[in-house]
Structure 1
Amino acid sequence: MKKTLIFLFLGLISCNSTKVISNSEKENIISELNYIFNIDQKYAGGPFDYLFKKHEKKEAWKIFEMMRDSVGLENQKKIKKIYSKYGYLGYDKIGKEYSRKFWITIQHADNDIKFQQKMLKELAKEIDKNNAERSNYAMLEDRIAINLNQKQRFGSQITYNKSGQAIPKNGLIDSLNVDNLRIKYNLPPFKEYYNSMTTDHFEMNKDYFIKQGMKEPKLYE
């Protein structure tokens, strides 16, 4: 009896990975992914202005992070439900735009590393079939590494030093060959990306850096 149940369960997983999505199902999924993506991006930045007006900075951030975590958990539930029914949504099932919108919640599921690791394996299968964006794989792998307090391969996850310069969070596994990897996975060159992020960070915090005696961002040469 146990063997039969195991066989049926594995069969269901296999069917999900090749399940054909009807037009009506596709419309529902697209609507769901648009909602998930839009609310994810709404909470991707910092606290809303009204929070700063009502609370001190530290309290505003605390409240905002609680709101963001709640939204993230709800999004994860929806994505997991979609995955359990249809498998990983690659280009062939939902198109490039919505495949990425499916991925973004997985990328932000930092509270569930096992889920991220499972999705990384699924994403690898889609990459092998040219059925998903290679940069998504690189960023998810790096995200998992950071969540496990490990070094990154691609350097997609950044933090900033005291000078406001973007640096790879936790460091790189192989800094000499990082650009070769980045090119292979459709990521911009290291200096180009890190200088862009450094410049943006400087502009967002310009008053602070000017007070520190910095008139321009510290870029990689």
Structure 2
Amino acid sequence: MDVDPKSPQAEKAADRVMLVDRQNTAQLRPWLQRCGWPSIRTHGEEVEVLVWLLVQHADQDRPFQLFAIDLLKRGVFEGSAPGAHLAYLEDRVAIGMGKPQRYGTQAEQKGPCHVELLPIDDLGKVAARRRQAGLPPLDTYVDQLRSAMLPPTCQGDGKAAP
């Protein structure tokens, strides 16, 4: 059953998500300031992934996300955090700031059967950047997005536009 995104139920759910995101950010910020980005070797993969997800969804606090990007860059450089997490976070923040993304990780569903990548700064460099970050090729990723975002009736219809 689809819910109208403008319905009172959907708006209430969106407000609740925003509240939880703000609370998570408020709790995570001092921990990251004190401890830095969690190392997979020290804290485990699950902790690193959960912290990354919380930062990914802290869109209401761009300065916090930018601070976290600096920490995550160090973690990637030291080999204690995945480059893919940095790519997704950098792209999400860039798009949120009205800039083009570098890795092609951010997309929107446009219409019932169409997924469209959001603007990319240099399509000619995306393949190398994705490879370096440990991401699959862009066409493979777009196919994955289509499978995840679109209903089965849309599979094989339309194409995601880079």
Counterpart-to-counterpart distance in 1, 2:139 and 2:114: 11
Instruction: Find out whether 1:189 has 2:140 as its counterpart.
Output: no
Q: CA deviation at 1:134?
A: 0.5
Moved beyond 4 Å, runs of 4+: none
Aligned equivalent of 1:201, options 142, 149, 153: 149
Contiguous gaps of at least 5 residues in structure 2: none
Instruction: Find out whether 1:154 has 2:103 as its counterpart.
Output: yes
| Gap change, CA 1:192 and 1:148, over 3 Å in 2 | same
Counterpart-to-counterpart distance in 2, 1:201 and 1:84: 35
Q: Is the 8 A contact 1:198 1:217 kept in 2?
A: no
Instruction: Find out whether 1:173 has 2:118 as its counterpart.
Output: no
Q: Is the 8 A contact 2:112 2:150 kept in 1?
A: no
Counterpart-to-counterpart distance in 2, 1:100 and 1:167: 26
The higher relative CO (CA closer than 8 Å, separation ≥ 6) is in 2
* Structure 2 residue matching 1:177: 3-state secondary structure: helix
| Gap change, CA 1:88 and 1:200, over 3 Å in 2 | closer
TM-score, normalised to structure 2, is 0.87
* Structure 2 residue matching 1:176: 3-state secondary structure: helix
**Once the two structures are superposed, what CA deviation does each residue of 1:11-61 show, in whole Å capped at 9, x if it has no partner?**
xxxxxxxxxxxxxxxxxxxxxxxxxxxxxxxxxxxxxx8xx6xx9962221
Name which one, 1 or 2, has greater alpha-carbon Rg.
1
**Once the two structures are superposed, what CA deviation does each residue of 1:146-173 show, in whole Å capped at 9, x if it has no partner?**
110110000111113346322222x111
Aligned residues: 160
Contiguous gaps of at least 5 residues in structure 1: 1-48, 210-214
Corresponding residue for residue 63 of structure 1: 12
Equivalent positions of 1:114-125 (< 5 A) are 114-125=63-74
Aligned equivalent of 1:88, options 28, 37, 45: 37
Equivalent positions of 1:1-221 (< 5 A) are 58-162=7-111, 164-169=113-118, 171-203=119-151, 206=153, 216-219=156-159
| Gap change, CA 1:175 and 1:106, over 3 Å in 2 | same
What is the identity percentage for the equivalent residue pairs of Structure 1 and Structure 2? 21
Q: Is the 8 A contact 2:5 2:11 kept in 1?
A: no
Across the aligned residues of Structure 1 and Structure 2, the Cα RMSD in angstroms comes to: 2.4
Q: Is the 8 A contact 1:154 1:182 kept in 2?
A: yes
Counterpart-to-counterpart distance in 1, 2:128 and 2:57: 26
Q: Aligned AA for 1:201?
A: M
Q: Which structure shows the higher helix fraction?
A: 1
